[in-house]
Amino acid sequence: MPKPVTLMEQLLKTSLPRGGVVLNPFGGSGSTLMAADVTGRTACLLEVEPRWCDVILQRWEERMDRTGSP
C-alpha cells in the first residue's frame, strides 16, 4: 500500500528546507517524489523492481498532465 502523499509532504516540510534534496533508496510507488514536487524539494529515488518503476513513472506522468509542471 502506498504511503499517503500528504504524510510525506509533512515529513519533508519538517525535516528538509525548501530546495533541499531527499534520497529515497526504496522508491516504491513514488509518494516521496510527488510530495517533494508539491513542497518545493527535489527527490532522488532508487527502485530495483521494474513493476514499481512503472508505477512511479505512471504517477509522475499523470501528475505532470494535471499540473502542467515540467
Q: Residue 2 — pLDDT band, cuts 50, 70, 90?
A: confident
13-22, Cβ contacts within 8 angstroms, sequence gap of 24 or more: 13/39, 16/41
Give pLDDT, residue 21: 98
Q: Residue 3: pLDDT above 90?
A: no
Per-residue DSSP letter, 19: T
pLDDT tens-digit profile of 23-63? 999 999 999 999 999 999 999 999 999 999 999 999 999 99
The reported pTM is 0.89
Per-residue DSSP letter, 61: H
Angle between helices 31-39 and 50-67 (to 10 degrees): 30
Q: Residue 8 — pLDDT band, cuts 50, 70, 90?
A: very high
Q: Residue 70 — pLDDT band, cuts 50, 70, 90?
A: low
